[in-house]
Amino acid sequence: MKFMTAAAMAASLLVSTVRAQSFCVYDPTGAQGPSYAFAKDYALAAKTWGVNLILKAYTDERVASEDFKAGQCDGVAITGLRGRQYNGYVGSIDSIGSVPSYRHLRTVLQVLASPQSEANMKKGAYEVAGIFPLGAAYVFVRDRSINSIEKAAGKKIAVLDFDKSQAKLVQQLGAQPVSSDITNFTTKFNNGQVDIVAAPGIAFKPFEMYKGLGTTGAIYRFPLIQLTAHMIVRSDKFPAGFGQRSRSFVLTQLDRADATIQQAEDGIPAKYWLDLTVADQEKYTVMMREARIQLTKDGIYDPKMMRLLKKVRCKIEPAAGECADSIE
């Protein structure tokens, strides 16, 4: 009897060990940040699915991704821009001008969380187990006299070194791309190494971007890209059906994400916001579309995702000029 009890305990221990998966979480503010807080709630939910997640916080996204790639993490939470290497289809959500508003993004995420999209969530050994909004990326300028794209010519703009699309876009503007990383792009803006940077509202306070804005800077009230976070797992490390259960759970957290984003944007002093004219907004929308089409031809954006995003845009705004053609 004692032997059987010991055997049962050993078996129980073995099962619990096998079911424990490591999950690396990128949060620029570490274990006290909002992304890690969400990850803790996510881990609690995963326990009800029979999965025991061991979380590890990273403040350097590149290291988190490399550790995941090397097999030191069974799952990882990183930005969609860096996550594109694991799934180009899902990673192309974060494309210039393709998702004009949070309403558009919510519709996209609802489609991708449905069981009908499951095949597109998988690529090779990897599966996207959830997509979480991080907010729109806005243009921050150190001098508000740079109040149009044309005036960006000759200026230094921070670009993320791992996202090839950014340098190409900046060069098309006649500006100078300055290679940066998530760990230092706001620092370069704050200390004057670059004149312009694109960042979400949630970066304003923790990265002290008011230092770079000073008394002369501004933020264009015009979203360039809807930034997202992706939860990516190695499919063979998780039980069957985990990915879909995970995506369904993450979808239920959209209101929470939207509230965090809205609170951050509302917390930015009104004096920094710069409203563009309707004419400029329309002009930039066309410019972004032309750039998006070219980047898709260059193989940076996934054409299948571009078609889905256009379908969503035209469902919400059927009168838009782009809805009359078959491009994208």
| pLDDT score at 317 | 94
Distance of CA 275 to the CA centre of its chain: 24
pLDDT at 17: 44
* pLDDT tier at 12, thresholds 50, 70, 90: very low
CATH architecture of 15-133+227-266: 3-Layer(aba) Sandwich (3.40)
The predicted structure's pLDDT at residue 16? 44
> What's the mean pLDDT in 81-108?
97
Answer for the pair 79, 198: CB distance below 8 angstroms, yes or no.
no
DSSP string, 45-70: HHHTTT-EEEEEEES-HHHHHHHHHT
pLDDT, mean of residues 69-77: 97
Report the C-alpha gap between 114 and 36 in whole angstroms: 25
Residue 289 has pLDDT above 80, yes or no: yes
pLDDT band at 164 (very low <50, low <70, confident <90, very high): confident
CATH 3.40.190.10 maps onto the chain at 137-224+271-322
Q: Return d(Cα 53, Cα 115) in angstroms, integer.
A: 23
| Residue 173: per-residue pLDDT | 86
Q: Would you say residue 14 has pLDDT above 80?
A: no
Claim: this prediction has a pTM higher than 0.85? yes
Please tell me whether residue 224 adopts helix, strand or coil conformation.
Answer: coil
Q: What percent of the chain has pLDDT over 90?
A: 84
Q: What's the token pair of residue 182?
A: 């998530």
The per-residue pLDDT for 236 is 95
List, as own/partner pairs, every contact residues 174-181 make where C-beta atoms lie below 8 angstroms and the sequence separation is at least 24, other chains included: 181/62
- Residue 257's alpha-carbon distances to 246, 260, 297, in angstroms, are 16, 5, 33
Whole-number pLDDT of residue 13: 44
In this prediction, what percent of the chain has a pLDDT beyond 70?
94
pLDDT band for position 327 (cuts 50, 70, 90) = confident
Q: What confidence score (pLDDT) does residue 65 get?
A: 97
- Residues 81-106: what's their mean pLDDT? 97
In this prediction, residues 165-188 reach a mean pLDDT of 90
Measured CA to CA, the distance from residue 177 to residue 73 in angstroms comes to: 33
34-57 mean pLDDT: 96
| Cβ(123)–Cβ(89) below 8 Å | yes
* Type of residue found at 281: Q
Asked if residue 78 lies in contact with residue 65, where contact means CB atoms within 8 angstroms, the answer is yes
pLDDT per residue as tens digits for the range 213-247: 999 999 999 999 999 999 999 999 999 999 999 99
- What phi and psi, each to the nearest 5 degrees, are found at residue 187? -65, -40
Is the pLDDT assigned to residue 120 strictly greater than 70? Answer: yes
CB neighbour class for 202 (10 Å; exposed up to 12, middle 13-18, buried from 19): buried
Confidence of residue 273 (pLDDT cuts 50, 70, 90): very high
pLDDT band, residue 148 (cuts 50/70/90): confident
Beta-carbon contacts of 193 under 8 Å, excluding residues fewer than 6 positions away, are 156, 178
**Does residue 235 contact residue 127 with C-beta atoms inside 8 Å?**
yes
Closest CA to 159 of 141, 184, 142, 135: 184
Question: With contact defined as beta carbons under 8 Å apart, do 137 and 224 qualify?
Answer: yes
CA-CA distance, 26 to 265, in Å (whole number)?
A: 21
Over residues 77-99, mean pLDDT:
97
Residue 260 clears pLDDT 60, i.e. is over it: yes
pLDDT at 7 over 50: no
**Contacts of residue 81, Cβ cutoff 8 Å, sequence gap at least 6:** 91, 94, 160, 162, 163, 227
Q: Nearest to residue 74, comparing CAs of 242, 233, 243, 245?
A: 233
pLDDT at residue 175, as a whole number: 93
User: Topology of 137-224+271-322 in CATH?
Assistant: D-Maltodextrin-Binding Protein; domain 2 (3.40.190)
pLDDT mean over 28-46: 94
pLDDT at 19: 61
Task: Specify the pLDDT at position 134.
Answer: 96
Residues of the chain with CATH 3.40.190.170: 15-133+227-266
pLDDT of residue 18: 42
